[in-house]
A and B are shown apart, each in its own frame.
Chain A
Amino acid sequence: MKNKVYIGYSEVATLISIMIGTKAFLGYPRLVTQLGMTAGWIIVFFSGLISLCLWLLISSFLACFPKKSLTAITESTFGSIIGTVLNIVVFTFSILVISNSLRIFSEVVIITALTETPVIVLTLVFILAAWIAAYYGIEAISRSAYISFPFIIASVIAVLILLYPYYDFKQITPIWGSGILSIGKNSFLGISAFGEVILLCYIIHYFQFDVKKVKQAGAFSIILVTIFFAAIVIVYQMVLPVPTSIETLVPFYQLSRSINLGHYFQRVESIFVMFWIFTAFLRLSMGLFVSTIIFQDTLKLPYYRPLLPAICLLVFSLSLTPADMMQTVMYEDIKFNYGWLVTFVLPLFILVVALILKRKEE
């Protein structure tokens, strides 16, 4: 039995934009700068473009299976054993990603705001909040995302504009940064950063609107986030030029700390930290919700809510497994390099096989 949910295209688009865009507040600008040097923004642009093409392809294939989630398609295509194994792989991946995100967000809160708070307390608070949000379901999470979206966007734009005294476009040259080959390779690997868009395929049966709208919501999110990522990376490299930009642990926080407009407009990062923490909460809630739905669909259970305590405990425990913050940063880099295998290649493979079998049957 499924709860009836009423969410619109805008809510879904903003939710996915926030899911993808949260990386901007973590290490993403540093990571692309490290890979592309002064051409980091080009990597962002091409990664966005490749992700958009892949998403349009995946969502077109998905349209051939109306109202069926990717979990259900996987099982009907590969049979119950292989299908379940594949779905468990996806579930495991999503749990690992969400656990690492939980730890990183907690560590970032320690670095930026609550320096003395033990990490276990922050992870606990985050996971409890995410549990409550996931309990109320996608409707509550997406509405929260929709309401907070203008504030989050305004806070990002404000930071980028207030840094105008640092603007120096020489700092994003030499234009090809780490070299064309490196840009090409890392642009492809970088599609992992947009992988959250695939979540739409796993919860498609929750939406009242058709697949065409889901496709548009995903495409809108990718385009919007690509523009924002590119703008953030460009400003980041102008404020903290290469090579200093590859040193910063939390680039966007460092950017907001650099705002210094006269005696009265400085030390403003505390205003923005509030929005970023709310963004983290939304991302964790949605991640938790989708992971639980994948697990529910895999095991064909009637309800997802009873699974939440166990999954929360699992995420909480896994988030505390890394020995230190740098280990979580390393896991995030691994996800950047190989995450696309699960987020784009696997769904594409499943849908291609499902389509071939469907054609044969017809």
Chain B
Amino acid sequence: MKCRFGLLVLLLITIIFTQGCWGSQETDELGYVILIGIDKGEKNIVKVSFQIAVPQPVEGGEQKKATEVVTVEAASIFGAKELASSFISKNLTFVHNKAVIVSEDIAKEGLSKYINPLVRCRELRRTNYLTVVRGEASEFLEHNKELIFEKYTSRYIDLLMNASKFTGFVPESNIHKFYQGLKSPGLQPITALMAVKNKEDDKITKGQDIGNEKKAEEEMAYLPGDIPRKGGAKIEIIGQVVFRDDKLVGFLNGKETRYYQMLTGDFQKGVFTIPDPEEPDKSIIVLEIKKGLSPEIRVDITEAKTVIEVQLFLEGEILSIQSGQNYEKGEREKILERYVSNYFSREVVALVRKTQKEYQSDIFGFGEYTRKYFGTWEEWVDYRWLEKYSEVDIDVKTNFSICRTGLMAQTAPSHK
């Protein structure tokens, strides 16, 4: 009996000490940061902006704004969070943070010192998006409040980043992937690119007459902030940032970002406009291109030279043939397939050359394919792939096939 009583007391003590009491925090005491923006500071090292969710009342109407942006200057991100507590009644937490947005200036200076605390922090997840913004991150967050199609900015960013599955304009860009690129001897980091649409440009001005062929080719070649448009939200996400080690060295536009993803195997589908093979300056063909298979990549290392051999496997559906030529079947279908294959191969090679000559940065991770030539980790690191990258040859072969032709089997001639 005594023993049972003793056990009961022990159990009671255990229940009393149930640990939740120490860490408990009421939901209404917390301020949920959903986006973090990092800029260079003027009075201190960094200027950190937090976009915080504004709690909505259960009854009695809705709050006018869904989020509030506050900006604090401090020596570190965590210091800024602490300082913000002096004028925000809530205890700020990053547990529901969706993205970390870094200004171009900070990215040029080097991101590694800002990434380290993000990787170490228990509240932040490595699955958080990491992006660079052209201009100021604080300005971006301010404009990010003016949403049209979504109420919450985190959802908006989430949808825009995921929309890449249907367009290919945005690469997979999170803290995890960036950190992997930062540390690997066979890969360089990238991030997605964002910007605020310039107010003065909020009208479509007449562009230069560069011919239809060039216009078709450059249809998607925009950086964020430059898309000719009217209306819609102020922010744009298209293209990506190229880093060499932890420093920003350049941008890839929307078109190049799609080719980048074709090489990494992340490309799912997108609409492409190409000049008509038979009358390139007059007509265009619009295709929806999908990934057929993942790309086959081989890096041949010989004493004489190193060659990267890439095979892309794509399939497509015809959306439009302006010229009315019947590219749907027979010999013309083969002509179109060959044309598109060569077109993509040429574009992909041009992109790789750009990263070799202009940026000297292997963002595609070709170096990862050289691992098999080495027995040990040390031998591979000593090979110093990233230093050799700009000198290697590239050979791209595209296997493209037309799988569907929309709802039309062919175009009948017009008899007028």
Contact = CB atoms under 8 A, between A and B. Distances in A.
Interface of A: 37-38, 109, 111, 114-118, 121-122, 124-125, 128-129, 131-132, 135, 170-171, 173-179, 240-244, 247, 257-258, 260, 263, 266-267
B122 interface: yes
Given A174-B376, A258-B176, A116 B10 contact: no
Given A111-B122, A244-B183, 10 more contacts: A38-B377, A109-B19, A114-B19, A114-B20, A114-B23, A174-B371, A178-B377, A242-B377, A257-B126, A260-B127
15 contacts: A114-B19, A117-B22, A121-B19, A124-B17, A125-B14, A125-B19, A128-B10, A128-B13, A132-B11, A170-B368, A170-B372, A174-B375, A241-B183, A260-B127, A263-B158
A247 B127 CA distance: 17
B379 interface: yes
A38 B378 CA distance: 11
Contact of A177 (B179, B183, B377): B377
A135 B85 CA distance: 49
A331 to B, nearest CB: 23
Contacts of A257: 125-127
Given A170-B371, A174-B374, A116 B17 contact: no
Contacts of A258: 126-127, 176
A240 to B, nearest CB: 8
Nearest to A114: B19
Nearest to A244: B183
Interface of B: 7, 10-11, 13-14, 17, 19-20, 22-23, 119, 122, 125-127, 158, 176, 179-180, 183-184, 368-369, 371-372, 374-380
A231 B183 CA distance: 23
B376 A116 contact: no
B17 A179 contact: no
Contacts of A116: 22-23
Given A241-B180, A257-B125, A258-B127, A129 B14 contact: yes
A124 to B, nearest CB: 7
Contacts of B20: 114
- Nearest first, the 7 closest Cβ-Cβ pairs linking A and B are A116-B23, A37-B377, A117-B19, A117-B22, A173-B371, A116-B22, A174-B374
A217 B11 CA distance: 33
Contact of B23 (A38, A115, A129): A115
Contacts of A37: 376-377
A171 B180 CA distance: 11
A360 B17 CA distance: 58
Contacts of A125: 14, 17, 19
Contacts of B180: 240-241, 244
Candidate in A173, A176, A240 with the most chain B CB atoms within 10 angstroms = A173
A118 B23 CA distance: 10
A243 B376 CA distance: 13
Nearest to A122: B19
A267 B95 CA distance: 10
Contacts of A38: 377
Contacts of A111: 122
Given A125-B14, A125-B17, A129-B14, A177 B376 contact: yes
